[in-house]
Amino acid sequence: MYDHQESVMSHFTQSDLREELRDAPVEPLLPVEKKLIVWSLSLGLVLLAVLAAINHFFPVTL
């Protein structure tokens, strides 16, 4: 079974993969994908600001 997978994988070379990716049409982001990106970045920035505020008001002392 492993030999069969290896022969199938060797059938597709890197140049074939590059050609496939180059010839693939560019697909624009869906509106829901744009919203997810904005929500994720916003949440990350808000949580980073909260962490910085907590660190500022309650510094870690060893």
Q: Is the pLDDT of residue 11 over 70?
A: no
- Check residue 43 and give its pLDDT: 98
- Write down the residue that tokens 């199938």 correspond to: 8
Q: How many CA atoms lie within 13 A of 27 on its CB side?
A: 7
Cα 41 off chain centre by: 12
Q: How many domains would you assign to the chain?
A: 1
- Check residue 47 and give its pLDDT: 98
- Check residue 6 and give its pLDDT: 55
Average pLDDT score over residue span 28-46? 97
Which residue would you say has higher pLDDT here, 53 or 62? Answer: 53
Residue 11 to residue 14: CA distance in whole angstroms: 10
Is residue 62 in a domain? no
| Helix (DSSP H) and strand (DSSP E) numbers for the chain | 3, 0
- Check residue 61 and give its pLDDT: 84
Is residue 42 in a domain? yes
Is residue 37 in a domain? yes
Q: Determine the structural domain holding residue 23 and report its residue range.
A: 2-57
